[in-house]
Structure 1
Amino acid sequence: MRVVRRTVLAATVAATATLGLSTGQAAATPSVDTIVNGILSITPLCQGTIDELIIACTELEKLTPRFPVMLDMNPIGTHLVVLGAGLTEDGKIQPVLEQRLEAALRAAERYPTAPIVVTGGVPRDGITEAGAMKEWLVSRGIPPERIIEEPESTSTVENARFTNDVLLERRATGAVLVTNRDHLERAMINFRQAVDARIPVAGIVAA
C-alpha cells in the first residue's frame, strides 16, 4: 500500500504542477486543497476498479467543508448525495443527521440546479431516513421535485450500491457526498467502488 500511495502522490504532484501549483501551496491554502481533491477524484489511477488505488487516493484527500470543484464545473449533472443516519424511535432527525442536512442545504442553495439524493432506510415509526431528510429539506425551501429518495439502504455499503442505481438511471456525471468527517472517507471509498469508475465521487464535510 505504501508503494501505491507514493505512485498516486507522484501523479497528483505532476497534475498540480500543470496548474502552476505546488504541494506546499496545497497544504497552506484550503481552496487549493479542493483543487487537489478534484484532481484525485478524476485521475485514472484513482478512478479505476482496483480497491488498493481507490483507498490510497481517498486517504490522500484533505477532507473539507468547502464545495468540490466539480459543482462549479457541472452543477447540473453533479448530484448531491446526503447520507442518512439513525432516526429517533418516533422518526425524528437526530443532531448528527441535522449537521449533514445543514451542509447539504448550504450546497443546495449555492448550486440551485444540482439534484439531491437522500439515501437511507431503517424506518422508525413508519418514516425512513430518506423520507425524514426530504421533509427537512423541503421545509427549508428546497423544491420537492429536486429531491430523489433512496429509502432501502441499511448501511454505507448499501447507500453506495443503491444510490449508484439512482445515479446510473439519471445519467449523473458526478456525485458529491455529504456526511460527517468521521464517516466521509469510508463513504467515498464505498461509493467509488460502487460506481465502478463510471463517474467521479467527491465529498463535503458536515461541519
Structure 2
Amino acid sequence: MGITVMIVVFLVTLTPLNDWLTFPLITSETPQNADIIIVLGSGLARDGSLNKNGKERVIQASWFLQSGFAHTLLMSGGLVKKTLFYESEQMANYAVELGMPFESVTIEKMSTSTEENARYAKIIMQENGWQSALLVTSRFHSRRACGVFRKHTIAVSCVAADPSLVPRISPVDRLNEFRSIIREYGATVYYWIQGYI
C-alpha cells in the first residue's frame, strides 16, 4: 500500500499526469457574446475563502466582462456548510476586489450541485429575459457542466478557465487537483446514470 501511494504521489506531482487525465473532461469553445456570464462555484476553503479553482473561474469571467462579452456576471453557488459562507457571495466579493462593478454582479445562492446550478440559473435568466450565457468553470468540470446546462435547454457557450491564472505549483496543489479530477470522473458517470447529461 505504501509503495502504491508513493508511486501515485510521484506521478501526480512530478509528471503531466493531471493534464492527461483532465483532457477527456474538457469542453472549451470559442467565447461568444451573451446576455450574461455564469460562473460556477467550486467549494470554499475552511476559512470561507475561494479555493484556487474558484479564483481562476472568477478571474476568467471578469476578463470576459471587461472585454465586453456580456454586462452581467451571475455567480452560482449555495451555502458551504462546513464554512457557513455562500460560494456565490464569496465569488461576488472577489470579483469586486478585482475591480468589477458591484452592480454588474448577480448572485444565485440556492444551488449545491452542478445540476442545481443549471436549474436555478435558468429561473433567473427567465425572470430577467436573458436568452444566452457564457458559462465559465474549471477545465476538469467543463464537459459535465456544459452538458447539464444544455440538458436544461440553456443557450450557452462553454469556456474552461485558464489554469495558469492561478498556478498550481506545490505538490499539495497538484494532489488536490488530482483528487478533483478523479471525483469528476465519478460525478460524470453518476450524472449520466441520472439523466442529467
Classify the TM-score, shorter chain: 0.5 to 0.7
1:156-181, Cα deviation, whole Å (9 max, x unpaired): 00000011111111111201110011
Q: Which of the numbers 155, 169, 173 marks the counterpart of 2:127?
A: 169
Is the alpha carbon distance of 1:204 and 1:112 closer, same or farther for their aligned partners in structure 2, counting shifts above 3 Å? Answer: closer
Question: Match of 1:157, SS?
Answer: helix
Contact 2:39 2:137 in 1 (8 A): yes
Does 2:102 align with 1:147?
A: no
Contact 1:67 1:107 in 2 (8 A): no
Does 2:58 align with 1:101?
A: yes
Greater displacement, 106-115 / 159-168: 106-115
Cα distance in 2 for residues equivalent to 1:137 and 1:121: 17
Structure 2 residue aligned with 1:53: none
What is the TM-score of this pair, normalised by structure 2? 0.64
Structure 2 residue aligned with 1:193: 151
Q: Which of the numbers 20, 24, 27 marks the counterpart of 1:63?
A: 27
Q: Which runs of 5+ in 1 are unaligned?
A: 1-61
Q: Which runs of 5+ in 2 are unaligned?
A: 1-25, 163-197
Structure 1 residue aligned with 2:94: 136
Cα distance in 1 for residues equivalent to 2:30 and 2:92: 21
Structure 1 residue aligned with 2:157: 202
Question: Match of 1:137, SS?
Answer: helix
Offset at residue 113 of structure 1 (A): 4.8
Structure 1 segments, 4+ long, off by >6 Å, are none
Task: Output the aligned Cα RMSD.
Answer: 1.8
Question: How many equivalent residue pairs?
Answer: 136
Greater length-normalized contact order (CA 8 Å, ≥ 6 residues apart): 2
Q: Which of the numbers 118, 135, 140 marks the counterpart of 2:75?
A: 118
